[in-house]
Structure 1
């Protein structure tokens, strides 16, 4: 999801992929938002599906700058490093994330920095390491809206299914839990997630609390099963058994289910140094 925050200035939150540039531009046009009116693109974290579209959008948005945390800025400036990391875990499938054009000029932000969009609208930077080292959220106090990127969880509302966003090698389990707890302390009304839409209170904080519960449950399962077997396949089987008859997880073809869960399991194994 790419979010638009519009006041006297107009900001995009995240940039999609290089393949979604035209879709983003056409959608902005539908809402009568010209590319020239965009003042900034704030990238919430390092991953391809949030940052790889920035370079292409900048070519169409002459008045915009790109902003991100220092860790994310490092990847935006030199995405080839990210591609090499991805290849270690995704193999041939890594070619899907190889089109990550660099952005040479990135404005780095830290905890407590902010952007003034005018007319009382602002965005305050909240660092949220865990999903990735460079993850940030953005809080808009006038509307009490919190943009969390992928810092919460993989969540399906229809089936109430949660999975930790533990993709290797950037995932850090302990920091992820700390960031979830940090989000619970923010006085927001609306939670805007990177892939799973927007939720209003009280449901929003219930999702964050549940994300923490699921993360801890996964950790216990992975530590126990992997500790005994040193087998990611056995961990996968244990997690599938725990999911039971959940229709969401059953809806994926087996090879996709194995690929996604395999990556999430490996993120835990690496983070916990098992």
Structure 2
């Protein structure tokens, strides 16, 4: 299948083809004694992910584990569908996200408020997962991949309060979710993901420091793909966060409303990213992954909380 890329170490990147785009959201299959899927993608992507897993020789009863870095719909929206397709798999998520996978009603209502009519096209509907199949992770925890191989889970909030990073004991790969931001491989652009309501600058920077201390060999971005230049990428991520926060602070201190703040930050950051110089589709992809209005409103929300 043309949406599967072997990354070595029995790890396979699966392009989930979110919203019909390629190279926008990845799931990762780790083969071995206990096959494990990291990230499901959206509900609308679930059949694509299922077929990719099947093509790699993993049958309906063979998938042992499905783990998500956090419960946002581009990462975990397909959990209920994948759980149905693979009835023997344990569903693993941080304890702060577990109840929302069992009962997604509040999560879906919130997403509907944010995305409106685009919700169905972009994400579909997160189906409930039987609570008995869900394993809630502590702040540090371990997932058994079989044969002595493990994924170590590390609580890494800042982007979301239910976010974890996952490091593979065999490859040194660190699955970073959205904590390091959004990476566009065709341009090398890296941009933060700071949506409301959970963004917190100090917490996000602490999570990057935690990732640095784990000494990974490679970063595996959910958006999108592997990056081998670990330390400089983590440094860039911290710099990007500070740039966006500084610009939004300036808008906030000048009393700008959200629309004017978004316009200012978009203009001041545009030249930082090659995606906007290449073509309209690449720019559109980048904006879908890390929308300026979401980033700015998340930082504004944090600033308002900090002042109260």
TM-score (norm 2): 0.81
Q: Look up the match of 1:75.
A: 100
Q: Aligned match of 1:242 in 269, 272, 277?
A: 269
Q: CA deviation at 1:46?
A: 1.3
Q: Which of 236, 245, 257 is equivalent to 1:219?
A: 245
CA distance in 2, matches of 1:242, 1:107: 40
Determine the structure 2 residue equivalent to 1:25. Answer: 50
Report the 3-state secondary structure (helix = DSSP H, G, I; strand = E; otherwise coil) of the residue aligned with 1:18.
Answer: coil
What's 2:87 paired with? 62
User: Unpaired runs of 5+ in structure 1?
Assistant: none
| Pairs aligned (count) | 272
Q: For 1:220 and 1:34, how far apart are their aligned partners in 2?
A: 49
CA distance in structure 2 between the aligned counterparts of 1:243 and 1:31, rounded to whole angstroms: 40
CA contact (8 A) 2:63 2:88 kept: yes
Q: Secondary structure at the match of 1:180?
A: helix
- 2:118 pairs with one of 68, 93, 117: 93
1: CA distance between counterparts of 2:184 and 2:59?
A: 33
Q: What is the alpha-carbon distance in structure 1 between the residues aligned to residue 284 and residue 186 of structure 2? A: 23
User: Residue in 2 aligned with 1:270?
Assistant: 301
Tell me, which stretches of 5 or more residues in structure 2 are unaligned? 1-25
CA contact (8 A) 1:167 1:266 kept: yes
TM-score (norm 1): 0.90
Q: Which residue of 2 is the match for residue 124 of structure 1? A: 152
1:14-53 CA distance string (max 9 Å, x none)? 1122211211121112222222110111111010121121
Q: Give, in angstroms, the shift of residue 245 of structure 1.
A: 7.5
Cα separation, 2, equivalents of 1:246 and 1:132? 24
Structure 2 SS opposite 1:225? helix
Of 77-86 and 250-259, deviating more is: 250-259
Equivalent-residue separation in structure 1 for 2:166 and 2:248 (angstroms): 32
More helix by share: 1
Q: Secondary structure at the match of 2:91?
A: strand
1:52 paired residue number: 77
CA–CA distance in structure 1, aligned partners of residues 114 and 45 of structure 2: 24
2:236 to 210, 232, 235: 210
In 2, the alpha carbon distance for the partners of 1:232 and 1:43 equals 31
| RMSD (Å) for aligned C-alpha atoms | 2.3
